[in-house]
Structures are given as structure tokens and as C-alpha cells.
A and B are shown apart, each in its own frame.
Chain A
Amino acid sequence: MDTKVEGGIRGVDHVAYVTWKVEETVHFYRDVLGLPLSHCILAPGWGSDPHPDFAHFFFDIGNGGRIAFFYYFGEPPYQDEQISPMLRKARHLALLVDTEEELEGYRQRILAAGYPMRHDGNRVMHELIESIYMFDPNGYNFEITRKLRPLGVADALDTELSIQALIDVSKGTEPTMAKLWERKGALILEQEPVSHDA
């Protein structure tokens, strides 16, 4: 489905990461996942000091979107030792498939290629999506997911009230889930919803 939000944004063009493992990265994304390499920029002198020369290459992820990597010549591998496990796990890219068969197909490809997957290689059924998880050869957290059902009017209202309650509670002292639930309960009643016995 090709849709736009107000203002015209209609999807992801690309997301970009840095890599020091070009061969492994190409193998994983092109050969294992089957994402075509669609573009590569060789840019001498364009990058800021101390890494003026770089390559920037893009894998096609469908619908015009791409996942891109920078390789900076002369730049030693860098890993932020201070990054917390919370951030390492929370930051991730999730790619979308349509069907259970497609999701399972990727799971089998990744396992057959010998890449370790998170959650013991199992598919994880969330409330509205089902996913598989892994770290790519660079250690970037990576997910493939499928939607279990389309979102509806109730989901949209619930999201709006959850976020308003979260904003309200997070501005106060000592935000807690208990405070959020109570605030959201008040917001639900402020909607003056129509009622009938269940």
C-alpha cells in the first residue's frame, strides 16, 4: 500500500550504518537475505576529516527503501564500550514481510547460513506482530516482522490516549506505570464514550 502522511512523507528512503566488515556485510544482506545491491558511491575526499575517503553502498529492501552502509578508509574499527545493553537491544531496524511463509523462509535462510539468532532462533509472537531477531555481522540489532492484523479505529484511539497519558505522567515526578494507567483511565472517561452492557 502506497500512502502518504500529511506533508507528503510516504516511507523510508534509507537508513545508514557504518561498517568495517564489508565482505561479511555484503554476504549477509545480499547472499543470505537476498537484498540486491542497488547503489554504491565511491567518494574520495568528500568525508569530513579524519576520514575523507569513503564508500557508501545500498541494499534494496523493497518499496523503494534501502539499507545503506558507510565504509571509511583509514578509520580504525570503533565500538562504543560505554553503550548500555539496554540501548544495544532497543535500537533496531525491523524489515517487513507479508506472510508467515515469508517470515519462516528468512528464519530458515539465516539459520542455514549459520548466523546466531536471538530468542534461540524462534519466531516471537507479539501482540500485533510476529518477528525474528538477530544481530547482523556488524552487531547491529535487526528484526524481520509480519503484521498479524491491520490496525483499526480502536487501536488509533488507544494509541492517542496512551501517548497523552505517557506525556502527562513523564512530565511529573517519579513516573510509573501505575500512574500512567490511572491517568489513561481518566482520559478514557473524558472521551464521554457511549456505553452498553457487555
Chain B
Amino acid sequence: MNRQPTVDFNPYAVLTVDTEADDERIRAAYLAKLKQFPPDWCPAEFEQVRDAYELLRDRRRRALYTLFSVNPEAPLQSLMGGMDNQRRFAGPAPWMAVLKRR
């Protein structure tokens, strides 16, 4: 029961790697993050980075995360993350086309 990961914690986002990243890239991202968040200066961030790396370096835990981290009860709004601002800047042309019509 305790083996299943929580859905709130996204280790890929913490390490800023994509889900297809291999071991080497994950390690490189971890080392980069360590430089960014040294444990003495940023203990909270460091802990998150370490947890994320611990989860992703273990292939079994990574597989568990991949399989079971989906949240079917997630609000539908969360799927529309990139749709907050849908008012696109189309330039003056379509506006002027309306203005030129009587």
C-alpha cells in the first residue's frame, strides 16, 4: 500500500526533465539542481530535489510513479493549463477589416 506514489509530487517537474529522460540525464539534472539549491542555503528545495532524484534513480520506484501517479479525480481545469489566456493577438488586420465595412 505504501509503495504507491503520491500524485501531488512530480519529480520530473522538480528536476525539470521530461518523462523520457534516461538515467544520465536525470543525474545531470540532479547535479545541476544541487548547484542551484545547496543544502546549506536552500534546505527545503534541496530536500525536494533529493526526494525527486531518489524516486527517479530507482527504476522500480520510477515505474511505480509512472504507472500509478495519475489522478482520475483531478479537476478538469487542470487539463487546460495552457488555456488560461485564449485571447490571441492577431494584429490590426482583422480589426481593420471590420472597421472598413460600413
Chain B binds chain A: no
Binding site for A on B (CB under 8 A): none
